[in-house]
Amino acid sequence: MKIKDAVYILRSKNAGVWHITIDIVFKNKENYKQAKKVLDKELFKKIYDKKDVQYFECDTINTIKVSFLRDKAAGSIDDRDCLGALQYIPLLEVEI
């Protein structure tokens, strides 16, 4: 199953000028448990080419949250995603 089929919400957004946060809210406990076997801090580092990410599992609400530093400040001249709203896209096809 792909993440896009297992979630209610998959979104990314700015968490201040220098950070992106990604929220992954699963449809049910089974999907969430399966995803936790695949999704981890190292996978997000690889997908987003980051040295460090903050990774949180919220078992009571079947949610994974990830945050990391942006390469460019939000709204800067070189920023291609001012709101951080497109950063979730690489996750859509990840198999869990």
52 lies in which domain range? 3-88
pLDDT at 69: 96
The string over 55-84, giving b where at least 16 C-beta atoms fall within 10 Å of a residue's C-beta and e elsewhere, is beeeeeebbbbbbbebeeebeeeeeeeeeb
Residue 46 lies in a domain: yes
Residue 31 lies in a domain: yes
Residue 54 lies in a domain: yes
Taking the C-alpha atoms of residue 35 and residue 63, their distance in angstroms, rounded to an integer, is 10
Residue 48 lies in a domain: yes
**What is the average pLDDT score of the chain?**
96
Residue 95 lies in a domain: no
Residue 94 lies in a domain: no
Q: What is the pLDDT of residues 55-78, one digit of tens each?
A: 999 999 999 999 999 999 999 998
Taking the C-alpha atoms of residue 15 and residue 37, their distance in angstroms, rounded to an integer, is 26
pLDDT at 70: 94
Q: What is the pLDDT of residues 15-30, one digit of tens each?
A: 999 999 999 999 999 9
Residue 12 lies in a domain: yes
pLDDT at 27: 98
Q: How confident is the model at residue 3 (pLDDT cuts 50, 70, 90)?
A: very high
Residue 29 lies in a domain: yes
Count of the separate structural domains present in the chain = 1
